[in-house]
Each structure stands twice: as C-alpha cells, then as structure tokens.
Structure 1
Amino acid sequence: MLRKTMILLPAALLGALPFAASAETMDQSELDMFRSASLTIQQASDAALQAHAGTLAAVAFGDENGRAAYEAVVIGGDGQPWTVLIDANTGNVFASALSSSMDDHDDEGDGPDDEDQDGETNDG
C-alpha cells in the first residue's frame, strides 16, 4: 500500500492550500515517476470519486509494486473510508475496497485479482 510519499488533500479541505506534504519524502525513482505521470492529481481525484461516491479525504502518490499510482481515500455516505488505487498513467482504477479490508489483505500479501472480504476485486 502507498503509506509513504506525498499526501495531497483537496483544496476544499485546506482552504487556500492546494496540497500538503507528509513528513516522509519521495525517493528519486518515485519523484521521477511522479514527474512523468500522465494523470493529474485532479484527474486521479475524479477517478476515485467515480469509483466510489463520497467525500475525498486524501490523495497520495507512490510506487505500487513498480506501478506509478495514486491512492485516494474516499469517505462514503455511510462514514466508512474507502481506499481507491488509480494507475497514474492510464487513470484506471485497479483496486477499491474498504480501507480496513485493503489494509488487512496487504499484510497477507494478496496476489492479482484476489477478492477482499467485501467481495471487491483487488488486482494490485
């Protein structure tokens, strides 16, 4: 999962600030991936909200198993946080699940196209 790297929050949550960086920084390869990514942060945010309706809470960029990706957290209408992974070059959503389900499965080393407990596919 993309726990480190840059965390980007929507301007609506931060007032005039367009984004905020976490205490951790990107290494050179992640920075190169970010600079060459085709998708903007706004496009990744839009893709996350199309994948799961709700309020965008955060967007992070990083290396997901060699793939440049954005990780978005969307708070659904039921108040549950959903994690949505978006390919930073194609805009394709390659995983979407309740954040707690995705965290549990990452620790177990899921392979491609495994189903999370909520039945959603996680092919990352």
Structure 2
Amino acid sequence: MKKTKTWTAIALPLLVASAVLTAAPSAGAASAGTLATSGGVSTQATLTCKGYGKAGVTNARTPVHTGPSGSATVTGYIAAGRTTHLYYECINSAGNLWYEITGYLDSDAPGTPNRARFIYSGYLK
C-alpha cells in the first residue's frame, strides 16, 4: 500500500506537468494554466474573454459546463426562460462564443478558473 501512495504522489504531478507542457499554446498567447489580463481582456491558453456584465434569457434547458466546450463536464442545467447574469463573453479555440456565468474567471488568477461555469451562446435569446 505504501508503494502505491508514493508512486501516486510522484507520478501524478509529473503526468499533469507533461500534459500542460504538451498542450502549451504558440508564442504570443498566455501559457497553459495561466490567466493574463490586458486592457480588460483575459486570455487563458486559446480562450479569450472580456468583461460582459449583461443578462441573457435562456431559450431552452441550458447545460452549465465547467469549461467553454461542449465536451466539458456538465454540472447542472438552467431552465428555459430564466434570466442569467453573463459576467464574461469568451471565445474558445474553435471560435465559438460562450458566457461565463459565475464571475470567477479573474478571481482565480493565476491558474485555471476551476470554479468558473460556462453556457453556450446558442442557448440564449
């Protein structure tokens, strides 16, 4: 049992570090796992966000994701017709528009906004 704990304590951080280095973006973008702010625009790897501060109304049952991607984990849903505060307007690496709805994007800098939640713009009227 002790060998397993030791291996996990050493191997897991190395595995995570290698994944971050492998996914590092090209020159000019913020490095993976960091959040840089310049002129009110936040960039994380290939995610670009700017403060939005408006409300939107959902047009259907809307999945809430842990990241700005349809493949990101869904943490819950917002019912159709609900007004939602949209703190940040973000464009992901595929060029799709997402909104950050919890306001945690810059408050977690530097690092991944692990408490941030996103909804896809297609679910808004």
TM-score bracket relative to the smaller structure: under 0.3
TM-score normalized by the length of structure 2? 0.27
The structure with higher relative contact order (CA 8 Å, sep 6+) is 2
Q: TM-score, normalised by structure 1?
A: 0.27
- Higher Rg: 2
**Greater per-residue helix proportion:** 1
